[in-house]
Amino acid sequence: MMLINGESQSHILISDRGFQYGDGLFETIEVFNGRLLFIEQHLKRLTVSCEKLRIPPPNPQQLLDEAQSLIQNSDNAVLKIIITRGSGGRGYKMPEVIQPTRVLSLHPFPEYPLAFQQGVRVIFCQQRLGLNPILAGLKHLNRLEQILARAEWHTADIQEGLLLDLNGFCIEGTMSNVFFVKNTVLYTPTLHQAGVAGIMRDFVLQTAAALEIKVVQGQFLPEQFYAADELFLSNSVIGIWPIKQLEQTFFPHGKLTQQLQHQLAQFKQQVIADEN
């Protein structure tokens, strides 16, 4: 199911700058029990990101209305929102009049094994992330680094790959943010130079603050991840996945990770309760 500029269709113009140059942004939102999780946070990030890229932001209520029309018969699914700068002539120059394209599409929720909630296997990728403080944090359409990184493994026993930046600091996974725990302190990479500031990452940070868990954001080398007491990944679809194996190093399903998973599960149960 798909809506393009509010109309049910499945094609965009070849001249659209999202197709031509990756000139746009996207959000991936979990539909849980027929409700869009963290929708306010997703729409806020989309608006702020559009402003940074000089794309006129979409009307949040219009997006919400269109999203609700797509999910009205869905319990659990994934909604993707794409905003591009719209059509323009050949060349990088922005059109003088920008008419953004908005695309909303609904997809089946991935059938992840329940075992992933107990731990997944992860590797470090050879592909490096470039440094760009202007684009850092944004979920823009230029995902070639992640595509090349994801091509580095082909076996089903590996669920994610971690990416370093050009200076050798670990930034994120190909589709996730990454955290580690050492001596009850929660650590996660800063995203000032590269990476995506995930909505679930924000949930983890806010939840940790509410639980009075000390959080440190900084630049961390692979050796610090190997020396961690526990590791986990987060994104809006997978939620929180513990890392049970990083390369050849094994980790427990740690207490702090379980605590954060429990808080996320409680949040989802409250969503169900609010609907009833």
The catalytic residues are 28, 139, 172
Please name the residue that has the structure tokens 């500029």: 5
Give the C-alpha separation, 257 to 95, whole Å: 47
> For the residues of 23-44, what is the DSSP string, one character each?
-EEEEEEEEETTEETTHHHHHH
Chain centre distance of CA 66: 21
125 and 63 in contact (C-beta within 8 Å)? no
Give the C-alpha separation, 244 to 258, whole Å: 13
What is the torsional sign of CA 186, 191, 196, 198? positive
* Distance from the first to the final alpha carbon of the chain: 27
Nearest CA to 16 out of 6, 4, 8, 31 is that of 4
Question: Three-class SS string for 169-228?
Answer: CEEEECCCEEEEEECCEEEEECCCCCCECCHHHHHHHHHHHHCCCCEEEECECHHHHHCC
